[in-house]
Amino acid sequence: MPHILLLSSDAEVYRSILESANLPDLIIEKEPTQACEIIFGAPSSIRKVLNDLPNVHWVQSMWAGVEPLLEPSLRKNYILTNARGVFGQLMSEYILGYLLAHERQIFQLRQMQKEKVWFDFDTGTLRGKTLGLLGVGSIGAEVARTAKFFGMNVRGYTKESEASSEVDKYYHGNDLLEFARGLDYLVSILPNTAETKKIVDGKVLGVLPPHALFINVGRGSAVDEPALLAALGQHKIAGAILDVFEQEPLPEGHPFWEAPHLTMTFHTSAPSLPEDIARVFIENYQLYVEGKPLKYVVDFERGY
């Protein structure tokens, strides 16, 4: 009878999803007890109790990022799994939403309405545009599939993988500028690693056409922030949509707050929806009780 500790501000929502899933022999605890063998929760809450619960063998994170559990003082002698495979559609929706806001001039039309001016002009389309993906993992593959659905051309820049067949052309290593040249939309989905640091720099931004849009939904560290500010200020690109930043929340007084043609969205691109995250847990729980290897195991050394 595994005891599971549920740690989330949405604990009641999760409890009701888990209860209706009729998982075998599961006992759900709201408070930490020594009987707890499993934790399913937000890393920021888990880190506070982890060292006091020696019987916990498995932790399922509700987030993709598990940085709080990587702290040196925390024990690592358990299986940590994260939330993966559930953010592809959410990221695609976000990216599509902002590409469409751009092409269909959603903000400009709203301004017209405010000014009570009937404005009769033609808006653009996604069809035939070229989108470049920096990073093509499971999220990038889903974004590529969505872009193809809308008739776009898709380029992908990766370390080596060419896993998604929806990408029309792959680029690697020194081909970064060739990859970026002439793109209508540049989208970064890169994680924070030594190799991705400031990869979107003045050179990359310099080969984009003036009508290009840059979207960052990966990690803020992939962007050379002063170079982006310069590109926006000098109209070298049409705009940037930033969901992530080198420092979050973005500090008061950071020039991004008032930069022209810069839209920021406060790390909302892929919310952890309980029905999605619970599905990951349920799948892993079934593997756990059957004694099988779990999915999405985090490598403490790599950090993801």
Catalytic residues: 219, 248, 261
Nearer to a copy of itself, 78 or 150 (CB): 150
Per DSSP, helices labelled H in the chain are: 11-20, 43-49, 88-103, 106-114, 138-149, 176-180, 202-206, 225-233, 274-289
DSSP 200: B
Query: Which residue do the tokens 């003036």 mark?
Result: 210
Choices 27-35, 170-178, 259-267, 293-301; region in contact with a copy of itself by CB under 8 A: 259-267
Nearer to a copy of itself, 257 or 300 (CB): 257
Q: Distance (Å, rounded) from C-alpha 111 to C-alpha 105?
A: 10
Q: Distance (Å, rounded) from C-alpha 288 to C-alpha 290?
A: 5
Site for a copy of itself in 94-133 (CB under 8 A): 94, 96-98, 100-101, 103-107, 109-110, 112-113, 116, 118-123, 125-127
Site for a copy of itself in 33-62 (CB under 8 A): none
State the minimum distance, in angstroms, from the CB of residue 180 to a copy of itself: 25
Nearer to a copy of itself, 25 or 120 (CB): 120
State the minimum distance, in angstroms, from the CB of residue 217 to a copy of itself: 12
Q: How far is CA 197 from CA 191, 192, 193, 224, in A?
A: 9, 7, 7, 8
State the minimum distance, in angstroms, from the CB of residue 39 to a copy of itself: 22
Among 187, 264, 278, 298, indicate the residue that binds a copy of itself (CB under 8 A): 264
Q: Distance (Å, rounded) from C-alpha 105 to C-alpha 100?
A: 8
Among 16, 19, 54, 151, indicate the residue that binds a copy of itself (CB under 8 A): 151
Q: Are 152 and 127 in contact (CB under 8 A)?
A: yes
Nearer to a copy of itself, 273 or 294 (CB): 273
Choices 129-137, 192-200, 258-266, 286-294; region in contact with a copy of itself by CB under 8 A: 258-266
Q: Are 60 and 296 in contact (CB under 8 A)?
A: no
Gyration radius of the chain over CA positions: 22
Among 271, 289, 297, 300, indicate the residue that binds a copy of itself (CB under 8 A): 271
State the minimum distance, in angstroms, from the CB of residue 125 to a copy of itself: 6
Distance spanning both ends of the chain, measured CA to CA = 30
Nearer to a copy of itself, 54 or 271 (CB): 271
With CA atoms as reference, report the closest residue to 283 among 87, 81, 137.
81
CA dihedral 287, 292, 294, 299 (to 10 degrees): 170
Paired tokens of 283: 């799948």
Q: Distance (Å, rounded) from C-alpha 145 to C-alpha 154?
A: 9
Site for a copy of itself in 214-253 (CB under 8 A): 248-250, 252
With contacts defined by CB under 8 A, how many residues of the chain interact with a copy of itself?
Answer: 46
**Contact between 299 and a copy of itself per CB under 8 A:** no
Paired tokens of 6: 């549920």
**Contact between 263 and a copy of itself per CB under 8 A:** yes
Chain contacts with a copy of itself (rule: CB under 8 A) = 89-90, 93-94, 96-98, 100-101, 103-107, 109-110, 112-113, 116, 118-123, 125-127, 146, 149-151, 248-250, 252, 257, 263-268, 271-273
